[in-house]
């Protein structure tokens, strides 16, 4: 990434010109196919993986599975189907609490979904709640359960008083079911939530795929007791905004990050990456997906934050139109589509979920691909460091003040009088809180940051 500006002396009445640049180190991720599914282990994986010690847990359309992080020991813990009332057709991830896994499916039970619990050893499967779509209930939960204060929270896509979805709470044994918020649609409310709830203090943040001022979905905040529901942002769709968010929000401090599967400036409305503050302010479109060979399109999962980068996947687009893995900096200035899935025996295809971070390793799954074309598990190693910081220059009292964020470390300030022919050398002089002050000199002077 290059952040360069030239400041001319004729404009600033100084004889100093500065070229401000950041020079990152090249970084190449390593893709490894860990596991290709077979009918005995489950087929068509969905959602994302969860990690506990050296074990990964996930779901396929067939059931709940576990495997070692090196790809060995894949086994089916629980098979969906086969007896009345069992769960069927999951669309999201599991939630781990102690030695229990909690999850939801959009079918099974009464036909419109089940919340269940099963031990990490595969024993003790229990249907905690049967969704029925009535006013005091919900149906077809497409997201995951969120554990907070010893209780489970989640959302159903339909059901509730307006049949536009519900936000609910229950105990970990399935008792104490409470409908905290019934989505009503319209300009003041969302409708048809599809992802998970994100917890921050006593607030949940989430998204709906419809509702809001334009009927294209919202970002909302609600207290954990169901009060204080607020629409923070109504998606407006093509050409300047996203539409129909399918996943969940990522939270970093007071900033929320998310994706939509539709909207953006592309005529095909291929989705965007966005950020906003938790109070609803400063909504920003970080990246608009363009599809084709150089970009992804139609993300169906959520973002994962790692080392100052946002990582995600798209379900289509890329060199083979079978989906991509991408990263984008949190300010949106740097975007890289660094993996295009190819399908076949040695690669995945069409990811429907999200990535899982462990240290400097990302784990993910694709719905198709592999030897049997029924899905794979993969890793991405060697993640890059945080995105390059931006240099800034301010002129005050005939001094040139060069600075970069005080929270950034590991970068070296270098200077040069002529980048075309000269040699860069480390800056000699005091650096206080990532700030240096320079008196104007004759000719040009250039600065850059370099990562070792």
Confidence band (pLDDT; 50, 70, 90) for 136? confident
Rounded Cα distance between 210 and 164, Å, is 9
Domains delineated in the chain:
9-24+389-450 (2.60.40), 30-381 (2.120.10.60)
Q: How much is the pLDDT for 21?
A: 54
Tell which residue, 393, 402, 406, has the closest CA to residue 433: 406
Percent of the chain residues past pLDDT 70, beyond the cut: 92
CA-closest candidate to residue 195, choices 256, 129, 284? 256
Work out whether strand 324-329 and strand 309-314 pair parallel, antiparallel, or are unpaired: antiparallel
Whether residue 249 contacts residue 257, with contact meaning beta carbons closer than 8 Å, is answered with yes
Say yes or no to pLDDT of 14 above 50: no
Distance CA 272, CA 77 (A): 36
Q: Between 381 and 116, whose confidence is greater?
A: 116
Looking at every residue in the chain, the average pLDDT score rounds to 89
Q: What is the pLDDT of residue 382?
A: 74
Best CA proximity match to 323, nearest among 345, 291, 346: 291
Measured distance CA(290)–CA(296) in Å, rounded: 7
Q: Report the distance separating Cα 144 and Cα 203, nearest Å.
A: 17
The pLDDT tens digits of the residues spanning 246-273 come to: 999 999 999 999 999 999 999 999 999 9
85 versus 182: the higher-pLDDT residue is 182
Whole-model pTM: value is 0.85
Mean pLDDT, rounded, for 12-18: 41
Does residue 15 surpass a pLDDT of 70? Answer: no
pLDDT above 60 for 425: yes
Q: Which pLDDT does position 85 carry in this prediction?
A: 75
In this predicted structure, the answer to whether residue 10 has a pLDDT above a threshold of 50 is no
Residue-wise pLDDT for 21-44, tens only, equals 555 555 677 899 999 999 888 899
Over residues 161-174, the mean pLDDT reads 96
Q: Comparing 168 with 403, which gets the higher pLDDT?
A: 168
The mean pLDDT value for 399-422 works out to 81
Residue 202 binned pLDDT confidence (cut-offs 50, 70, 90): very high
Picking from 99, 107, 104, 143, the residue whose alpha carbon sits closest to that of residue 124 is: 99
Q: Give CA angle at 300 (199, 310), nearest 5°.
A: 60
359 has pLDDT over 60: yes
Return the closest-CA partner of residue 250 out of 228, 284, 273, 266: 273
Four-point Cα dihedral 76, 82, 85, 89, nearest 10: 60
Greatest alpha-carbon span in the chain = 84
Q: What is the pLDDT of residues 267-302, one digit of tens each?
A: 999 999 999 999 999 999 999 999 999 999 999 999
Closest to 154 in 3D by CA, of 126, 131, 123, 186: 131
Name the more confident of 404 and 255.
255
List the structure tokens of 175.
């008792």
Q: Select the more confidently predicted residue: 230 or 17.
A: 230
Residue 18: pLDDT above 70? no
Residues 134, 113: Cα–Cα separation, whole Å: 13
Say what the pLDDT of residue 16 is: 45
pLDDT category of residue 82 using cuts at 50, 70 and 90: low
Report pLDDT for 255: 96
The encoded tokens of residue 179 equal: 């409908």
Sign, Cα dihedral of 282, 286, 289, 290: positive
- The residue that leads in pLDDT, 128 or 434, is 128
User: d(Cα 238, Cα 48) in Å, to the nearest integer?
Assistant: 29
Average pLDDT over residues 322-342: 93
pLDDT at 23: 56
As a three-state string, the secondary structure of 19-37 is EEEEECCCCCCEEEEEEEC
Question: Above 70 in pLDDT, residue 13?
Answer: no
For residue 19, pLDDT over 80 is answered with: no
Place of tokens 């609600």: 222
Contact, 98 vs 387, CB < 8 A? no
Question: Which residues, in sequence order, are CB contacts of 89 under 8 Å at separation 6+?
Answer: 61, 80, 105, 106, 107, 108
pLDDT tens string 175-198: 999 999 999 999 999 999 999 999
Q: How far apart are CA 373 and CA 192, in angstroms?
A: 31
At 414, is the secondary structure helix, strand, or coil?
A: strand
pLDDT for the residue 92: 95
The C-alpha torsion from 382 through 33 and 290 to 385, rounded to 10°, is -10
With 70 as the cut, is the pLDDT of residue 223 above it? yes
């Amino acid at each position: 990434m290059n952040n360069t500006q030239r400041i001319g002396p004729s404009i600033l009445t100084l004889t100093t010109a500065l070229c401000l640049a950041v020079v990152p180190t090249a970084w190449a991720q390593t893709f490894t196919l860990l596991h290709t599914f077979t009918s005995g282990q489950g087929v068509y994986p969905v959602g994302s993986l969860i990690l506990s010690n050296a074990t990964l847990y996930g779901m396929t359309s067939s059931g709940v599975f576990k495997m070692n992080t090196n790809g060995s020991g894949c086994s089916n813990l629980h098979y969906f189907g086969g007896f009345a009332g069992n769960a069927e057709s999951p669309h999201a991830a599991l939630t781990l609490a102690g030695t229990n896994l909690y999850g939801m499916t959009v079918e099974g039970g009464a036909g419109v979904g089940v919340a269940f619990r099963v031990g990490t050893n595969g024993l003790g499967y229990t249907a905690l709640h049967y969704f029925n779509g009535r006013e005091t209930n919900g149906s077809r939960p497409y997201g995951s359960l969120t554990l907070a204060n010893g209780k489970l929270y989640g959302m159903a896509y339909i059901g509730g008083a307006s049949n536009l979805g519900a936000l609910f709470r229950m105990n970990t044994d399935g008792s104490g079911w409470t409908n905290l918020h019934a989505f009503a649609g319209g300009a003041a409310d969302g409708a048809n939530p599809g992802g998970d709830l994100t917890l921050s203090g006593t607030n949940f943040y989430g998204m709906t795929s419809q509702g809001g001022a334009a009927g294209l979905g919202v970002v909302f905040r609600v207290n954990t007791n169901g009060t204080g529901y607020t629409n923070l942002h109504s998606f407006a769709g093509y050409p300047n905004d996203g539409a129909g968010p399918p996943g969940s929000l990522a939270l970093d401090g007071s900033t929320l990050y998310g994706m939509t599967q539709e909207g953006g400036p592309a005529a095909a409305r291929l989705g965007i990456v966005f950020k906003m503050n938790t109070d609803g302010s400063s909504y920003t479109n970080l990246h608009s997906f363009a599809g084709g060979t150089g970009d992804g399109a139609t993300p169906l999962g959520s973002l994962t934050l790692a080392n100052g980068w946002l990582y995600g996947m798209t379900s289509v687009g890329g060199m083979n139109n079978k989906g991509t893995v991408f990263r984008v900096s949190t300010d949106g200035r740097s975007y890289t589509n660094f993996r295009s899935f190819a399908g076949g025996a040695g690669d995945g295809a069409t990811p429907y979920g999200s990535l899982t971070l462990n240290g400097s390793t990302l784990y993910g799954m694709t719905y198709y691909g592999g030897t049997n074309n029924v899905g794979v598990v993969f890793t991405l190693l060697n993640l890059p460091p945080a995105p390059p910081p931006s240099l800034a220059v301010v002129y005050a009292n005939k001094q040139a003040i060069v600075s970069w964020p005080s929270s950034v470390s590991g970068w070296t300030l270098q200077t040069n009088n002529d980048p075309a022919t000269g040699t860069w050398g480390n800056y000699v002089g005091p650096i206080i809180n990532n700030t240096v002050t320079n008196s104007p000199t004759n000719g040009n002077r250039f600065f850059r940051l370099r990562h070792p």
